[in-house]
Structure 1
Amino acid sequence: MSHPMPYPEERAVQEQAPAPQPAPPPPAVARAAVPIARTPVAPAVTSAPLATPSPLTHPPDQPGGPPPGPDGDRPRDRTGPSGQTSRLRIGWHTVPRSGLRRVTALPSPSAGLLLGRDQQQVPVPLRLFAPEPVRVALIGGVWAAQLLIFRAFSVGVRVVVVTTEPRAWTGFGERATGQQNRLTVVAGEAGGPYGGTAQTPLLTVYDLGVSGPMTSPPLGPWHTQLTILRQLDRPGVAAVQEAGLVVLQRLGGDEAALASAALRLRPQSGQLLQSMNDDMMALIGDGDDRYVFLHQTGVEQQYVGPPRR
């Protein structure tokens, strides 16, 4: 589209009009205001990590940036405090193994220790510690008791062992924890205190052969009594009936008959107690009867040994 030509009068006015003068430069103060408004140090601190990608920002097989998502689009970058983008994504940062060893997660004692898994591979917890006193009977050997204690050390438990065979316990606490005050072995009755805390539960273990303690000791909050019956005989029936939880290794015929009568088990349960493998335990008294595969770890085998009774 052509533009109309100006009339002669308009052309003369345009020719006589003075040429436009260039705009004067901004005052020195205005030019200096730009750098003054910026902070000379902060960008070097806040933007450098975002502007210069770290070697850990991208994995070696993706040097060109974040991988596309399932729909083919690349994820939107996040904006950092300096206004520049940061291509941080979950899984692109690694922690050295030395750092992971210092990261520990303490499970809640009241949530229960992982005893093992049942035949459907469902985890089976052992509720060993609670705000109220807990009494547990273990029909089995020292190996089973030390396995439970080894796992209980992870929640900060302090253990007192009352035993007629101190040699079976000497040095176990030091080997397992590297500390001398986590497990104490005594030959007589355990003295006070009679309670623990949620951070440091107290576990009193009675390893007296075929019977429990002569008198029921007082128990306080976060205090658990574990009575080991190396073989179930009539002197130990009272300890089994007094316990709220009973943990059993494989039993012999006479033991299974006594346990079935004391715990009022079904005939089928009495048969199963005699056919468990060495790496199994039965848990009775915490809901349904559970038959558990222990899944002992290599570290547990190192400090406790292979399964046995």
Structure 2
Amino acid sequence: MRRAARGLPGVRHPGHTLPAGDLGALSLPVGDDGVVVGEDADCRALVLGLHRSTRYDVLLIGGLWTAQVLALRAAGTGARVAVETGRAQAWTALARAAGAGVDCMTLHAVGRVPPLGAAVSGPVVVVRDCGTRPPRGRVVSSPWQSVVTLLPYLSPVAPRLLRDSALVGVQQVSPEEAGPIGRILGLSRAEVETLPTLSEGVTLWCSGRERHWVRTVATEPETALLGPARRMD
């Protein structure tokens, strides 16, 4: 029986030492670690902590490009990424590039994601790219297993997902979609009016009362693999 992967092994190196007199020169960053989703208007990096000891559900109403950037960056943090999708052809090249010979990103048909054995030593991110009406999946969020659901636009299941998700990202939508989204998320009138005007790669991330306008800026390798930022596929 093939054993489930437990994440990528880290770099092995001998220990480092530092003279006691140099300790004062050290500084440690304080804040969340995780996946860099982009930068705000002040060019500060915004980080999404996907690896948690509690359940964590993320909803992205937006484009495939942004979902794939998030999946690729999650794999880069050492997580195993399982993509549940009805369009495997759109993910095949990404899965091959992400793994570099290691199965850190796997593709599964809708409703066919197996148990993944998430653990603190091997976190998992499930990306659900299942169209406008994603069915309730067998694999749900759990400790060390986050679920990111992609909706291309507002659909009949969107209100439930908007209410149930701990984090919601909204990209450019029509004025008719912006209204219901704004009411459910408690957005201001200005925020609702801005949603239909968003540029490619810009997302409004919402968690409770917290709001962040974020532009996802691809690296050169990401652009070579996925192309330029785009809302529509």
> Cα RMSD between the aligned structures?
2.1
* TM superposition shift of 1:308: 0.5
Equivalent position of 1:219 in the other structure: 141
Contact 2:57/2:148, CA 8 A, preserved across alignment: yes
* Counterpart-to-counterpart distance in 1, 2:194 and 2:186: 14
Equivalent position of 2:55 in the other structure: 133
Give the counterpart of 2:84 among 159, 162, 170. 162
Equivalent position of 2:196 in the other structure: 274
* Counterpart-to-counterpart distance in 2, 1:197 and 1:155: 14
* TM superposition shift of 1:238: 1.1
Equivalent position of 1:150 in the other structure: 72
Give the counterpart of 2:158 among 218, 236, 254. 236
* TM superposition shift of 1:303: 1.7
* TM superposition shift of 1:194: 4.8
Alignment of 1:66-215 (within 5 A): 111-214=33-136
Contact 2:53/2:143, CA 8 A, preserved across alignment: yes
After the TM superposition, which parts of structure 1 deviate over 6 Å for at least 4 consecutive aligned residues? none
Give the counterpart of 1:285 among 198, 201, 207. 207
TM-score by length of 1: 0.60
TM-score by length of 2: 0.78
Contact 1:211/1:239, CA 8 A, preserved across alignment: no
Equivalent position of 2:185 in the other structure: 263
How many residues align? The count is 201
One-letter identity of the residue aligned with 2:42: Q
* TM superposition shift of 1:211: 2.4
Distance 1:286 1:152, change over 3 A: farther
Task: Give the match's secondary structure for 1:197.
Answer: coil
One-letter identity of the residue aligned with 1:121: C
Taking CA–CA contacts closer than 8 Å with sequence separation of 6 or more, which of the two structures ends up with the larger relative contact order? 2
* TM superposition shift of 1:180: 4.8
Contact 1:173/1:180, CA 8 A, preserved across alignment: no
* Counterpart-to-counterpart distance in 1, 2:227 and 2:171: 16
Distance 1:119 1:237, change over 3 A: same
* TM superposition shift of 1:285: 0.7
Distance 1:299 1:171, change over 3 A: closer
* TM superposition shift of 1:219: 3.0
Structure with bigger gyration radius: 1
Structure 2 unaligned residues grouped into runs of 5+: 1-28
Contact 2:113/2:139, CA 8 A, preserved across alignment: no
Structure 1 unaligned residues grouped into runs of 5+: 1-106
Contact 1:195/1:221, CA 8 A, preserved across alignment: no
* TM superposition shift of 1:179: 2.6
One-letter identity of the residue aligned with 2:151: L
Q: Does 1:303 align with 2:198?
A: no
* Counterpart-to-counterpart distance in 1, 2:138 and 2:181: 21
One-letter identity of the residue aligned with 1:278: E
Percent of pairs with identical residues: 27
* Counterpart-to-counterpart distance in 2, 1:204 and 1:122: 27
Contact 1:155/1:199, CA 8 A, preserved across alignment: no
* Counterpart-to-counterpart distance in 1, 2:98 and 2:226: 9
* Counterpart-to-counterpart distance in 2, 1:191 and 1:121: 37
Deviation per CA, 1:115-165, whole angstroms, max 9, x where unpaired? 122112222111222111210001112111001111112211111111122
Task: Give the match's secondary structure for 1:111.
Answer: coil
* TM superposition shift of 1:177: 2.9
